[in-house]
Amino acid sequence: MLVTASFDDPVLESLDALREAGAEPVRADASADPLAVLAGTCGLLVTGGADVAPARYGAPRSPFVTEVEPERDAFEIALLRAARERGLPVLALCRGLQIANVAFGGTLIADIPHALGERATVPHDVRDPGQQEHWRLVPEHVVRVEADSALARLLGTTRVVTSAAHHQAVDRCAADLRVVGRTADGIVEALEARFAAPFWLGVQWHPESNRADDDGASRALFRAFVEACSRTPG
């Protein structure tokens, strides 16, 4: 399966999580032809990283968005649209959820504290100094999952404590996607597809980092994704 990432990010935890679940992941370079690299793959994992450029969703420049990767934005949008057309399983993590929402016509909140003001009651960007990977669970960051969602069935619960390492979030959800998880302050934390797909899920947290910490929830997510990929002709 194909894994996308920032140019300088080896995404070791994501690759390890996929291998642990039985997959043979291949990291994709954003300078490649998206249709060429998608050919022959059985699934797509879109990982975290820099902010999505506001121009991608028709918004003006923001002082809160200082690090973007326009080439990666274009690459992943093309991959996500092509994966949908080909009926491939997709798992989108953190920034991955955001770029997926943009790819299908949604918009983003440029900065959660600025947008919510006093309504920002949940910590969404909790990082240890110098932290490059292994995003820890944040007890106050509780995601409430819709009971009738595939995510709830997969996790076996409608309440999950997750990591929190984002200052952007979904604003207007794309029409072809469905919000299935939020925190108490209303921030979108999980999306599913309204269109037919063997597996399609976006989560705003980092399950690749929490496999040993969350009573099996993250491993269940990766296992379900890999199982869907194994049933998809590559």
Of the residues 76, 166, 206, 229, only one is catalytic, namely: 206
Of the residues 13, 69, 76, 94, only one is catalytic, namely: 94
How far apart are the C-alpha atoms of 79 and 146, rounded to whole Å? 27
How far apart are the C-alpha atoms of 95 and 168, rounded to whole Å? 8
How far apart are the C-alpha atoms of 182 and 234, rounded to whole Å? 34
* Continuous segment of H or E residues that includes residue 138: strand 137-145
Instruction: Let me know if 94 is a catalytic residue.
Output: yes
Token reading at 86: 């080909």
How far apart are the C-alpha atoms of 234 and 229, rounded to whole Å? 8
Of the residues 42, 192, 208, 229, only one is catalytic, namely: 208
Nearest to 208 by CA among 40, 9, 39: 9
Instruction: Let me know if 173 is a catalytic residue.
Output: no
Backbone Cα Rg of the chain: 16
Instruction: Let me know if 206 is a catalytic residue.
Output: yes
Active site residues: 94, 206, 208
